[in-house]
Amino acid sequence: MSRFVLITPNAEFERKVRLATAAMPGTLQYFQADYLPQGPEEVLTQLLGEPPEVFILGPGLPADETLKFAAVMDLQYPEISMILVTDESSEVAIKAMRAGIRDLLDPAAEVDHIRIIVERASLASAGRRRGLSPSSSEHHEHAAGGRIIAVISPKGGVGKTTVATNLAVGLGKIAPMGVVIVDLDLQFGDVASGLMLEPDHTITDAVVGAASQDSMVLKTYLTVHPAGIYALCAPKNPVEMDRITGENVSHLLTQLRQEFQYVVVDTAPGLGEHVLATLDLASDAVWICGMDVPSIRGLRSGNQILSELNLLPEVRHVVLNMADRRSGLTLQDVEATIGAPVDVVLPRSRTLPFSTNKGIPLLQDGSRDPAQKGLRQLVERFKPSWEARPHKKLHRRAVVQ
């Protein structure tokens, strides 16, 4: 069971943390003090049961003492995540991350935001414990890198962002706080509007400076979404695209895969430098095509080019969007043209594009819609148990309504 320790003289903040952790498994132990002991042992010896997962330090504690305490804690008990409560500058933030602080929290944060940060720290602690277990070294080597899911389409206008945002929200239910969606349509990306977000930072901030050197600093540049996922949005000014190289993208995705179970990448149409850099690292490719000849031919050509470049990810998922029998094409026509089976069919829907325009993905909204079933099927394909299914169930015959 999760255990949380809070040290602060601030009774009001203690009340908010208690509310935030009330629905979470485990207990909160509170030390009302405006100072820290000489070392972690003085606190740990006063706790009962299993070791804690998360230490919340502040507000109201001396900054220098807190950083020293955190550094010792990180050295002696690396499996325990620490959260520093401070409204100080980014300079203090960098020092905190170097001292082993997992996350920063503003003293004025709302209860819901506190819960998200504590949950994230708790999940990180659980992951560290598994990694430090001698019997799980092989598992940890595999788990150290999350899945990078590239959502791609040679043609625009096929609903790529709609699928990517719904996929991220759906995966967030499987791995709460373990999913990040990255908008790599650097000129005209719509992930921010598709998730109704107003990001303080964008991918431009994430690939330069301290964030590119330290994954903990990078996390402070991510935007939290109410569905329990994170987002790294496209630049606000399309001109900033020129400042981001393929090497920047590769480094960024490598950082994120070490911190998240799923990294969903909404790429730009076509096969540009940033898309190729993504595919070079991707474990999965989600191909999106519409039920029109240009889109289908584009998918076939893109697949052939990537095969020649040896950049096809190991796992492929083909999604036929806006499927409609009245289009003049059949599912068999599509599969014959692209030379591969269609894995997921999303029927033509009015609700699906409307949900994107509204900024609330269909899998978050919960509205009934024919496309919802297909989106859930796509999410199912990324569950850890998917590959363990009988082989005949891996590629069920899709149907166009």
Q: Looking at the predicted structure, is the pLDDT value of residue 365 above 50?
A: yes
pLDDT of 129 = 65
pLDDT of 130 = 56
Percent of residues, the chain, with pLDDT higher than 70:
90
State the pLDDT confidence band at 285, using cuts at 50, 70 and 90.
very high
State the pLDDT confidence band at 399, using cuts at 50, 70 and 90.
low
Higher pLDDT, 259 or 215: 259
pLDDT of 240 = 87
Comparing 67-76, 136-145, 301-310, 377-386, the range with the smallest average pLDDT is: 136-145
d(CA 301, CA 296): 9
Over the Cα atoms of the chain, what is R_g?
A: 23
Sequence letter at residue 336? A
Higher pLDDT, 99 or 204: 204
pLDDT of 219 = 84
d(CA 150, CA 286): 6
Comparing 81-85, 190-194, 207-211, the range with the smallest average pLDDT is: 207-211
Please state, in angstroms and as integers, the Cα–Cα distance from residue 37 to each residue in 3, 49, 172, 271, following that order.
19, 21, 38, 56
Question: Tokens 């220098």 sit at which residue?
Answer: 64
> For helices 11-21 and 111-132, what crossing angle results, to 10°?
70
* Range 24-62 burial, b when 16+ CB lie within 10 A, else e: bebebbbeeeeebbeebeebbeeeeeeebbbbbbbbbbe
Calculate mean pLDDT across residues 244-254.
94
State the pLDDT confidence band at 90, using cuts at 50, 70 and 90.
low
pLDDT of 327 = 79
pLDDT of 127 = 65
Q: Looking at the predicted structure, is the pLDDT value of residue 273 above 50?
A: yes
Calculate mean pLDDT across residues 267-274.
92
DSSP letter at 398?
Answer: P
28 forms bridges with which residues in the sheet? Answer: 4
Work out whether strand 223-225 and strand 229-232 pair parallel, antiparallel, or are unpaired: antiparallel
pLDDT of 131 = 55
State the pLDDT confidence band at 136, using cuts at 50, 70 and 90.
very low
pLDDT of 268 = 94
Q: Looking at the predicted structure, is the pLDDT value of residue 143 above 50?
A: no
pLDDT of 186 = 93
Higher pLDDT, 231 or 127: 231
State the pLDDT confidence band at 1, using cuts at 50, 70 and 90.
very low
State the pLDDT confidence band at 382, using cuts at 50, 70 and 90.
very high
Which phi and psi (to 5°) does residue 279 adopt? -65, -30
SS3 249: helix
Calculate mean pLDDT across residues 354-383.
88
Q: Kindly report the number of other CB atoms within 10 A of residue 83's CB atom.
A: 25
**Residue 239, token pair as written in the block:** 């001109």
Per-residue pLDDT of 289-333, as tens digits, reads 988 899 899 999 998 999 888 888 989 999 999 888 887 888 898
Calculate mean pLDDT across residues 257-283.
93
Which phi and psi (to 5°) does residue 142 adopt? -75, -40
pLDDT of 137 = 37
Calculate mean pLDDT across residues 18-40.
88
Q: Looking at the predicted structure, is the pLDDT value of residue 188 above 60?
A: yes
Per-residue pLDDT of 39-76, as tens digits, reads 888 888 888 766 789 999 999 999 889 999 998 988 88
CA angle 363, 149, 315 (to 5 degrees): 115
- Computed over every residue of the chain, the mean pLDDT equals 86
Which phi and psi (to 5°) does residue 23 adopt? -90, 0
Q: How many residues does the chain have?
A: 401
Domains observed in the chain: 3-136 (3.40.50.2300), 145-393 (3.40.50.300)
Q: Do 285 and 312 form a contact (C-beta atoms < 8 A)? A: yes
Residues 6 or more apart in contact with residue 183 via CB below 8 angstroms: 189, 190, 191, 192, 203, 231, 232, 233, 234, 266
State the pLDDT confidence band at 387, using cuts at 50, 70 and 90.
low
Q: Looking at the predicted structure, is the pLDDT value of residue 370 above 60?
A: yes
Burial (CB count <10 Å: 0-12, 13-18, 19+), residue 201: middle
Higher pLDDT, 401 or 266: 266
Please state, in angstroms and as integers, the Cα–Cα distance from residue 127 to each residue in 12, 47, 147, 342, 400, following that order.
31, 22, 16, 35, 41
**Residue 238, token pair as written in the block:** 């399309």
CA angle 361, 367, 372 (to 5 degrees): 70
Sheet of 262-267: strand order equals: 223-225, 229-232, 179-184, 262-267, 147-152, 284-289, 315-323, 344-347
Comparing CA positions, the residue from 360, 382, 293, 275 lying closest to residue 329 is: 293
State the pLDDT confidence band at 278, using cuts at 50, 70 and 90.
very high
Q: Looking at the predicted structure, is the pLDDT value of residue 17 above 80?
A: yes
Work out whether strand 229-232 and strand 284-289 pair parallel, antiparallel, or are unpaired: unpaired
pLDDT of 314 = 82
Q: Do 354 and 376 form a contact (C-beta atoms < 8 A)? A: no
